[in-house]
């Protein structure tokens, strides 16, 4: 039986070097690869290009990379919760590519499906369209968008088995599954690692064929990005 397990996050990310193109799973602070982030912080690498729906917050998630100046370029959809991101972007320290959320999702999904490019109406006539090919279909203009394939995709799942099959929970399914498929090397951290055959095949969200390394995380803070209370 195929064994894809590694000891821990440090071993999983050992060959990620400066200048790497990474995809980081999660939506807000939900389903982010917290242990991989901590291990990369210890490595002290730099000049990373990161694809992520958002940039975390100032003291958690990808926001920690930004504080240590590890990121050269962010490709994201929503970045409104991170003051350091804003400061670096406005000062020109950080290269930023902002995309409509659907376009970002499709660029990742298409990469995982082996589709090099696609056409979308989102962004036509805006800054998003600068430098991109435009074609007309049925009398309507569309932008050509190239798909993404990462050097490494770092994803976080609720459960996984030693062959790399993954099950996500709730909102963690928003970007993690498509990023897992779009990575040349996909590293999965899970809350619970189980033997092959334990998971119900009908419940698996990411088949193990997409995952090269898997380990059980040792801690998860699971922060709430914006807490709303009723009074």
User: In Å, how far are 20, 60, 154 from 9, measured between CA atoms?
Assistant: 17, 17, 10
Tell me what percent of the chain is helix, strand and coil, each rounded to the nearest 5: 25, 30, 45
**Average predicted confidence (pLDDT) for the chain:** 93
167-191 tens-digit pLDDT: 999 999 999 999 999 999 999 999 9
115-161 tens-digit pLDDT: 999 999 999 999 999 999 999 999 999 999 999 999 999 999 999 99
> In this structure, what token pair is assigned to residue 187?
């590293």
Question: Which helix (H) or strand (E) segment is 188 a member of?
Answer: strand 183-194
Exposure string for 187-213, b = 16+ CB within 10 A, e = fewer: bbbbeebeeeeebeeeebbbebebbbb
Instruction: Return d(Cα 56, Cα 76) in angstroms, integer.
Output: 11
Provide, rounded to the nearest whole percent, the portion of the chain with pLDDT above 70: 97
pLDDT of residue 29: 85
pLDDT of residue 225: 67
End-to-end CA distance of the chain: 54
DSSP string, 102-117: HHHHHHHHHHHHT--E
Whether pLDDT at 83 is above 90: no
- The superfamily in CATH containing domain 9-116+148-216 is Glutaconate Coenzyme A-transferase (3.40.1080.10)
pLDDT band at 56 (very low <50, low <70, confident <90, very high): confident
DSSP designation for 185:
E
Whether pLDDT at 80 is above 90: no
Whether pLDDT at 112 is above 70: yes
Whether pLDDT at 106 is above 80: yes
pTM, to two decimals? 0.92
Instruction: Return d(Cα 115, Cα 112) in angstroms, integer.
Output: 8
Q: Which of residues 13 and 79 earns the better pLDDT score? A: 13
Provide, rounded to the nearest whole percent, the portion of the chain with pLDDT above 90: 83
Instruction: Return d(Cα 146, Cα 103) in angstroms, integer.
Output: 10
Whether pLDDT at 1 is above 70: no
pLDDT of residue 44: 85
Question: Which helix (H) or strand (E) segment is 24 a member of?
Answer: strand 21-24
198-229 tens-digit pLDDT: 999 999 999 999 999 999 998 887 777 667 77
pLDDT of residue 59: 85
> SS in 3 state form for 123-153?
CCCCHHHCCCCEEEECCEEEEEEECCCEEEE
Domain ranges of the chain: 9-116+148-216
Site of tokens 């599954």: 177
Mean per-residue pLDDT for 18-40?
94
């Amino acid at each position: 039986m195929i064994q894809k397990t590694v000891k821990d996050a440090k071993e999983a990310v050992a060959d990620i070097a400066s200048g790497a193109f990474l995809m980081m799973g999660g939506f807000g602070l939900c389903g982010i690869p917290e242990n991989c982030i901590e291990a990369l912080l210890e490595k002290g690498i730099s000049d990373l290009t990161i694809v992520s729906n958002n940039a975390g917050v100032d003291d958690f998630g990808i926001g920690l990379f930004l504080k240590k100046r590890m990121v050269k370029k962010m490709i994201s959809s929503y970045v409104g919760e991170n003051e350091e991101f804003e400061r670096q972007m406005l000062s020109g320290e950080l290269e930023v590519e902002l995309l409509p959320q659907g376009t970002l999702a499709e660029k990742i999904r298409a990469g995982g499906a082996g589709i090099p490019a696609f056409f979308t109406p989102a962004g036509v006539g805006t800054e998003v369209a600068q430098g991109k090919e435009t074609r007309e279909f049925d009398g309507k203009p569309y932008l050509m968008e190239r798909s993404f394939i990462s050097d490494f995709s770092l994803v976080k799942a609720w459960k996984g088995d030693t062959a790399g099959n993954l099950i996500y929970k709730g909102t963690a399914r928003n970007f993690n599954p498509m990023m897992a498929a779009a990575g040349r090397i996909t590293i999965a951290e899970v809350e619970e690692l189980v033997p092959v055959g334990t998971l119900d095949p009908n419940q698996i969200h990411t088949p193990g064929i997409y995952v090269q390394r898997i380990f059980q995380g040792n801690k998860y803070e699971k922060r709430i990005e914006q807490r709303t209370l009723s009074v």
